Amino acid sequence: MSSAPLTPPPRQQERARSTRAAIIRAAAGVFEDHGYGNTSLAAVAAAAQVTKGALYFHFASKDALAVAVIEEQHAIASADGARVQALGRPALETMVLVCRGFTLQLIEHSVMRAGIRLTFEASAFGHDVRGPYLDWAVRFGELSRTAQQDGDLRPDLDADAFARVVVGSYTGVQMVSNILTGRADVIERLADLWTMLLPGVVGADRQERVPQLVALFRDGPSD
Amino acid sequence: MSSAPLTPPPRQQERARSTRAAIIRAAAGVFEDHGYGNTSLAAVAAAAQVTKGALYFHFASKDALAVAVIEEQHAIASADGARVQALGRPALETMVLVCRGFTLQLIEHSVMRAGIRLTFEASAFGHDVRGPYLDWAVRFGELSRTAQQDGDLRPDLDADAFARVVVGSYTGVQMVSNILTGRADVIERLADLWTMLLPGVVGADRQERVPQLVALFRDGPSD
């Protein structure tokens, strides 16, 4: 009689990972449409086409599922941020392109939209959701300081305050676009934000860069 | 035998109005803390110190109660907007002061905070919540065009786009302030927004007005 293996065989591990990923994707769709309070684990199991037993094997509670969606959202956003950083463009362009990438992810992935919705509903399930916002503010603070050293941002600008303004105003413009148009106009509304925000923060001798940066946000890098 | 009166006597009407208002206040507190999905009518009745029967007399469903809170939020915001308009100040100052008033109401009234939360959760109860955002965008669009005629805003600015940028960025900055500090720093974060947004939209010959407008937002009118 052979003893049970300490870890499941590779194929079983892979199947468990793919089931878990399918549950998170399905949960995102249900949370996005119905919000935290109106989502039931039964609805998620049905959407994921798994039994409630399989669902409970991966997630002990609705709370755990919501946290997994928020973490997945943050993982997608962070990976995309790293992709943009790796382009090695100047810091101010990097900020603009990180926002562009985040917006495209938001349009494409239900996990991103559900994660944002859950973040705003999160006091209902007592999860501390400050992390992603603080991360984003810290990274953009670093980029702002570099952009200031590059001479792209005004020398008298409070770089950390600029980072927080970008995080807050980006968040709101995309949320109001969601309410009014289901995010159909989100790129145009965010392009408006950059058009009006950049002249006040870009150095006096770099103002000609403003329309270039807005075009970079709207259309992406041409190279 | 006397017939029943067609309308309740004044004292009874007054009592009904005051009960209804007390229920809305209590509901706002519960919705603010727990969100739409996790709020029960029993919890609202307990918080309002009324029987469930009295609650149902005024509101047939949780949906009706949430809509009443959103409408009350909009009524408070509109009344405060009208108060500011009546000051008869230039249009750009009026925009800044309407935002200041809204922020102070947000700090003071649970109905305002609950209304905002419910608006973002509202797809869960199928209520069209575009109204307040469209109203706000339309009023600010009118003020922007007047501010442009006054020479306070750049002649080449898209006035309606500016109005939408203010609505969206204001919304997000206060929401992120709520997530990160429970709105303890909301006035400072919004003052940062005005500090960075105004230089890009104010006319070239009115730039000295920027710090005055930021101070007006932060401290209110001195007269």
Tell me the angle at which helices B186-201 and B159-181 cross, rounded to the nearest 10 degrees: 160
pLDDT of residue A173: 97
CA B103 – CA B186 distance, rounded (Å): 8
Q: Do the Cβ atoms of A194 and B197 come closer than 8 Å?
A: no
Residue B13 or A112, more confident:
A112
Contacts of A192 in chain B (CB under 8 A): 158, 161-162, 164-165
Question: Residue B121: which pLDDT band, with cuts at 50, 70 and 90?
Answer: confident
Shortest alpha-carbon distance between residue B42 and chain A (Å) = 16
Q: Given CB atoms, is B170 within the 8 Å cutoff of chain A?
A: yes
Does the interface predicted TM-score (ipTM) exceed 0.90? no
Q: Given CB atoms, is A62 within the 8 Å cutoff of chain B?
A: no
Which residue does chain B place closest to A210, by CA atoms? B200
- pLDDT of B11 strictly over 60: yes
Q: Do the Cβ atoms of A197 and A173 come closer than 8 Å?
A: no
Q: Given CB atoms, is A130 within the 8 Å cutoff of chain B?
A: yes
- Comparing A101-105, A180-184, B141-145, the range with the smallest average pLDDT is A180-184
Contacts of A197 in chain B (CB under 8 A): 165, 196-197, 200
Contacts of A201 in chain B (CB under 8 A): 196, 199
Contacts of B171 in chain A (CB under 8 A): 172, 175-176
**How much of chain B, in percent, has pLDDT values that exceed 70?**
95
Token pair listed for A77: 């956003």
CA A56 – CA B127 distance, rounded (Å): 33
Question: Residue B1: which pLDDT band, with cuts at 50, 70 and 90?
Answer: very low
Q: Which residue has the tokens 């989502």?
A: A39
Cα–Cα distances (Å) from B175 to A30, A171, B104, in that order, read 23, 8, 14
Shortest alpha-carbon distance between residue A48 and chain B (Å) = 20
Question: Is A176 close to B133, i.e. CB distance below 8 A?
Answer: yes
Question: Residue B104: which pLDDT band, with cuts at 50, 70 and 90?
Answer: very high
Question: Residue B38: which pLDDT band, with cuts at 50, 70 and 90?
Answer: confident
pLDDT of residue A152: 97
Question: Residue A1: which pLDDT band, with cuts at 50, 70 and 90?
Answer: very low
Q: Given CB atoms, is B194 within the 8 Å cutoff of chain A?
A: no
Chain A, residues 108-127, CB within 8 A of chain B, namely 117, 119-121, 123-124
Q: Which residue has the tokens 């990976």?
A: A79
Average pLDDT of A188-210?
96
Q: Can you list the domains of chain A with their CATH numbers?
A: 66-219 (1.10.357.10)
pLDDT of residue A130: 84
Which residue does chain B place closest to A153, by CA atoms? B196
